[in-house]
Amino acid sequence: MRGKLSKVLEYSIWFVVILVLFPSQSAYAQEPPAEKECIAFAYTYSENHYFLIKENSSIFGQNVFIEHNCESIEVMLNGSFYAAADNNFNFKIDAGVQNLTIMGENQTWYFHNVSIYPDRLNWEYDFNQLKNVDSKFIDITIANTQINWAVAMSITIVWVLSTYVYWSLISSYVDKNFIEEVIQ
């Protein structure tokens, strides 16, 4: 029995040695970690809304924020150099359709036809301003009455002018072709 116990103990020791040594040896045998990949992204925000810039997108906000893990980043705007930095940075961009290019170490990101709108969501701002303004709006019945009068007057003016033009043409034709007999 003692022989069987010593064999089980021997196998257990070898099992533990194998479990301990093989994983640690494989950790030493690995290649050094690869260099980190350069990653960058650009975004804007307006109030509590954030807009990630991508190709053919519409964004609100004219302050562009660039975050990256690269050594340095260059930004080209419509084909011209615009900004560069080693750390995360932001810059102001004009509203309209822009072409943005971000160049990192070995990476380039192209963002063509990016529609940039002003810094706030206009409809919400205008709506809030209208609610806060103490202004008088025209009554809908008065507006409809003015529209009806404008239509009636336009019809009258067009009828008078067209009748006058036709009357002048007819009168000219009759005067030209009028034959008068003279008796002595």
Burial of residue 117, with CB atoms counted within 10 A of its CB: 0-12 exposed, 13-18 middle, 19 or more buried: middle
Name the average pLDDT for the chain: 81
State the architecture of 40-123 in CATH terms: Sandwich (2.60)
Q: pTM score, two decimals?
A: 0.49
Task: Collect all residues with Cβ–Cβ distance below 8 Å to 128 and sequence separation of at least 6.
Answer: none
75: amino acid identity, one letter: V
Q: How far apart are CA 159 and CA 171, in angstroms?
A: 18
Residue 15: pLDDT band (50, 70, 90) is low
Q: How far apart are CA 64 and CA 80, in angstroms?
A: 16
Residue-wise pLDDT for 84-115, tens only, equals: 888 898 998 888 899 999 998 888 889 999 99
pLDDT score at 151? 96
Q: How far apart are CA 182 and CA 184, in angstroms?
A: 7
Residue-wise pLDDT for 115-164, tens only, equals: 988 876 666 667 777 777 666 778 899 999 999 999 999 999 999 999 99
Burial of residue 44, with CB atoms counted within 10 A of its CB: 0-12 exposed, 13-18 middle, 19 or more buried: buried
pLDDT score at 65? 92
List alpha helices for the chain, DSSP H. 2-29, 122-132, 140-176
134: amino acid identity, one letter: D
The structural domains of the chain, with segments of one domain joined by +, span 1-30, 40-123
Residue-wise pLDDT for 17-26, tens only, equals: 565 556 555 5
Q: How far apart are CA 46 and CA 42, in angstroms?
A: 14
